[in-house]
Amino acid sequence: MASTLEALERWVNEVAALTRPAQIHWCDGSEDEYRTLVQQMLADGTLIELNQQTHPGCYLHRSHPSDVARVEHLTLVCHPNQEDTGPNNHWMDPAEAHAKMDALFAGCMEGRTMYVIPYCMGPIDSPLSRCGVEITDSPYVVANMKIMTRMGKAAQERIEREGLLSDGVFVKGLHSTGELDPDRRFIMHFPEERTIKSYGSGYGGNALLGKKCHALRIASNQARDEGWLAEHMLIVGIENPRGETHYIAAAFPSACGKTNLAMLIPPEGYRRDGWKVWTVGDDICWMRPGADGRLYAINPEAGFFGVAPGTSDSSNPNALKSIARDTIFTNVAVTADNQPWWEGLPGTPVTDWQGRPYDPANGPAAHPNSRFTVSAKQCPTWSPKAEDAQGVPISAIVFGGRRPSLLPLVMEARDWTHGVLMGAAMGSETTAAATGAVGVLRRDSMAMKPFAGYHYGDYFAHWLSFDRPGARLPKIYHVNWFRKGRDGKFLWPGFGDNLRVLEWMINRVEGKVSGVETPIGTLPATGELKLDGLAIDPATMDELLTMDRAGWQAELAAIGDYLDGFAPRLPAALRAEQQRVAGALGDMPREAATA
């Protein structure tokens, strides 16, 4: 058996023969290497220096105006058997996909440097971590990968060590920015080969291959094969005044509040009482059962690639503190004194995200999906446990989305199967994180619609399989911070006040409150949600916490139709669970049934 280093070198040589770069640079992940790349990008205009007095080490990157978000219609999963890809993914035959991509990659790096980036997703010494190597011609990608992953020498050493166990275990990712021509842009995944090929985009989710491509689409396949879960979830630790910490993992679709919840600041009264919040991850969670039957989670990432607009001292002061230095901003606006700016910050922009003089007639100054890339270590609430090789034990799993109506502020699943149904039934209004219309309600099971790298039916079955003898599974919840009143305004204040809802969950986990059982799940009983210091009237709380039976009967029927779209691979247990809940809700009133 060839060593992994030989396999890696062979692949790098093959790629070089195809792409024909002028030189090859193996990344060591050092600070020196990062500084050199930044200097080079400042010189060629890829990066623009921001105000170094107010924002030391901060730079701005302006992408091509057509390359600002993930492109789901150009993102494909190429299983040899199309059936395995599922209706939730776009598919192409692997041989055809390789031919198409290799034609794009042929000669694409001529005259340029090809970077080889060995990286480790997760703590370098964790058995839960997995490694990959990304080859790219973009120094912007290298700089972002340096912040977002454990990249360079240590990762390469781990890859070489793992070679003693098996050949070629690392995920192979090939990326080129190409011509940024939307007609020559594809993000292709080959799950069986643990391979990714991405061409024609420099945007984060399309180009930083460790993130969505590896840590979700390929890793969901690895996780299914190896008995763990790769999820689009934040991980947050909630420490009570007695010093006990519960870890919660929460899946919300893109731009629906993961970063905000992961870094939340407790409301005044909670702070006084000694509650603390610890950030472990803001986007991706890998978890597996430990020897004690509980689920243990790691954050495979080392940084945050966060949504800038809306990030402010009132919404997310921890994020704002994190990005005061050593941050790469992409597609934000700038002020007269060259500070980064976006909607939600004080001050006024003079230059918009495209570098034009700011004119409100052109739309927002910062692109709605403008982002910051920053090391997680800069977050004031960064948890020391985030480096723990064993991961953190998960007490509760939370699903949620943008639902302007019907979905209550919080509900608890009666058991694991019901919780999996809650996750599978998730819906949310679309956001600017992907190209396409914004604000359209779509089903987004477990917030993984764009990221589950195989058939959703099989994915639901994999979730259900964790409920087995000896398992001590977390409780499962569904939340909705985005319920709107008749005036179109959010009913719930959200952000820091979401801790009130998390505390109720923890009280449930500890058996301290009983809640009210309803057909859709357990809701907080009157008085169980701590609301002191909050200006919210009882009628609003009522609206947030009552079950609209007719609305739910129609919702359950719609969930049933949606699930049927995954037949014949839909687990019978999940369809039965949907029927159980529908049955508990009673017969649909005649008007709703015929509507």
Ligand X SMILES: Nc1nc2c(ncn2[C@@H]2O[C@H](COP(=O)(O)OP(=O)(O)OP(=O)(O)O)[C@@H](O)[C@H]2O)c(=O)[nH]1
- Indicate the annotated binding residues for GTP: 255-260, 371, 402, 495-498
Nearest to 540 by CA among 595, 469, 487: 487
Residues making up the annotated binding site are 70, 203-205, 212, 232, 254-260, 283, 369-371, 402, 495-498
Distinct helix (H) and strand (E) counts, the chain: 18, 29
Q: Which amino acid belongs to residue 362?
A: N
Q: Are 461 and 424 in contact (CB under 8 A)?
A: no
What does the alpha-carbon distance between residue 271 and residue 168 come to, in Å, rounded to a whole number?
Answer: 49
259 binds ligand X (CB under 6 A): yes
* The only residue of 19, 245, 260, 417 in contact with ligand X, by rule CB under 6 A: 260
* The only residue of 35, 87, 273, 490 in contact with ligand X, by rule CB under 6 A: 490
* The only residue of 4, 138, 176, 254 in contact with ligand OAA, by rule CB under 6 A: 254
Residues composing the chain: 595
Task: Using the rule CB under 6 A, give the single segment among 20-28, 79-87, 204-212, 520-528 that binds ligand OAA.
Answer: 204-212
What does the alpha-carbon distance between residue 246 and residue 92 come to, in Å, rounded to a whole number?
Answer: 43
C-alpha dist (Å) from residue 287 to 158, 221, 298, 310, 574 = 20, 14, 6, 30, 22
Instruction: State the nearest-atom distance from the C-beta of 281 to ligand OAA, in Å.
Output: 11
Q: Which amino acid belongs to residue 497?
A: D
Residue 211's binding partner out of ligand X, Mn ion, ligand OAA, none, with CB under 5 to 8 Å set by partner kind: ligand OAA
221 binds ligand X (CB under 6 A): no
Task: Using the rule CB under 6 A, give the single segment among 48-56, 309-317, 329-337, 570-578 that binds ligand X.
Answer: 309-317
Instruction: State the nearest-atom distance from the C-beta of 147 to ligand OAA, in Å.
Output: 14
212 binds ligand OAA (CB under 6 A): yes
- Cα torsion angle, 572, 573, 578, 583, sign: positive
Instruction: State the nearest-atom distance from the C-beta of 260 to ligand X, in Å.
Output: 4
Take residue 505 and report the two structure tokens written for it.
């969950």
* The only residue of 137, 283, 301, 577 in contact with Mn ion, by rule CB under 5 A: 283
Q: Which amino acid belongs to residue 71?
A: V
Check if 285 is active-site.
no
* The only residue of 104, 433, 545, 563 in contact with ligand X, by rule CB under 6 A: 433
Q: Which amino acid belongs to residue 233?
A: M
Query: By C-beta, is 104 or 251 nearer to ligand OAA?
Result: 251
Give the residue carrying structure tokens 């010093």.
243
* The only residue of 327, 330, 335, 498 in contact with ligand X, by rule CB under 6 A: 498
Give one word for 203, left, alpha or beta, with left for phi > 0 and alpha for psi -120 to 50.
beta
Q: What's the helix, strand, coil split of the chain in %, to 5?
A: 35, 25, 45
Residue 481's binding partner out of Mn ion, ligand X, ligand OAA, none, with CB under 5 to 8 Å set by partner kind: ligand X
By DSSP bridging, strand 328-330 and strand 59-61 are: parallel
Query: By C-beta, is 156 or 259 nearer to ligand X?
Result: 259
Number of residues in contact with ligand X under rule CB under 6 A: 22
User: Which among 27, 58, 78, 256 is annotated as catalytic?
Assistant: 256
206 binds ligand X (CB under 6 A): no
Instruction: State the nearest-atom distance from the C-beta of 305 to ligand OAA, in Å.
Output: 6
Give the residue carrying structure tokens 């019907």.
406
- Cα torsion angle, 590, 592, 594, 595, sign: positive
- Give the three-state DSSP class for 449: coil
75 binds Mn ion (CB under 5 A): no
What does the alpha-carbon distance between residue 595 and residue 586 come to, in Å, rounded to a whole number?
Answer: 17
**Residues in contact with 502: Cβ distance below 8 Å, sequence separation at least 6, in sequence order:** 236, 238, 248
Residue 387's binding partner out of ligand OAA, Mn ion, ligand X, none, with CB under 5 to 8 Å set by partner kind: none
288 binds ligand OAA (CB under 6 A): no
* C-alpha 204 chain-centroid distance: 12
Residue 252's binding partner out of ligand OAA, ligand X, Mn ion, none, with CB under 5 to 8 Å set by partner kind: ligand X
Residue 140's binding partner out of ligand X, Mn ion, ligand OAA, none, with CB under 5 to 8 Å set by partner kind: none
Instruction: State the nearest-atom distance from the C-beta of 211 to ligand OAA, in Å.
Output: 6
Give one word for 109, left, alpha or beta, with left for phi > 0 and alpha for psi -120 to 50.
alpha
Query: By C-beta, is 228 or 252 nearer to ligand X?
Result: 252
* Binders of ligand OAA in range 167-186 (CB under 6 A): none
Take residue 206 and report the two structure tokens written for it.
């399309």
Residue 259's binding partner out of ligand OAA, Mn ion, ligand X, none, with CB under 5 to 8 Å set by partner kind: ligand X
70 binds ligand OAA (CB under 6 A): yes
Q: Are 303 and 147 in contact (CB under 8 A)?
A: yes
Query: By C-beta, is 257 or 427 nearer to ligand X?
Result: 257
Give the residue carrying structure tokens 């692109």.
367
Residue 302's binding partner out of Mn ion, ligand X, ligand OAA, none, with CB under 5 to 8 Å set by partner kind: none
* Binders of ligand OAA in range 305-344 (CB under 6 A): 305
Nearest to 78 by CA among 62, 98, 92, 89: 92
Number of other CB atoms surrounding residue 469 within 10 Å: 5
315 binds ligand X (CB under 6 A): yes
Site string for ligand X, 393-432 (x = CB under 6 A): ----------------------------------------
* The only residue of 118, 163, 237, 257 in contact with ligand X, by rule CB under 6 A: 257
What does the alpha-carbon distance between residue 181 and residue 63 come to, in Å, rounded to a whole number?
Answer: 13
- Give the three-state DSSP class for 521: strand
Q: Is the peptide bond before 56 cis (omega within 30 degrees of 0)?
A: no
Torsion of CA 286, 288, 290, 292, to 10 degrees: 110
Largest CA-CA distance found in the chain, in angstroms, rounded: 71
What is the b/e burial string over 192-202, where b = at least 16 CB atoms within 10 angstroms of the residue's CB?
A: eebbbbbbbbb
Residue 205's binding partner out of Mn ion, ligand OAA, ligand X, none, with CB under 5 to 8 Å set by partner kind: ligand OAA
- Give the three-state DSSP class for 102: helix
Task: Using the rule CB under 6 A, give the single segment among 32-40, 113-121, 253-261, 465-473 that binds ligand X.
Answer: 253-261
Task: Using the rule CB under 6 A, give the single segment among 32-40, 105-113, 452-460, 488-496 that binds ligand X.
Answer: 488-496
* The only residue of 433, 505, 506, 523 in contact with ligand OAA, by rule CB under 6 A: 433
* The only residue of 140, 186, 460, 481 in contact with ligand X, by rule CB under 6 A: 481
Name the residues annotated as catalytic: 256
Sites of contact with Mn ion (CB under 5 A): 254, 283
Sites of contact with ligand X (CB under 6 A): 252, 254-260, 282-283, 306-307, 309-310, 315, 433, 481-482, 490, 494-495, 498
Sites of contact with ligand OAA (CB under 6 A): 70, 204-205, 211-212, 254, 283, 305, 433
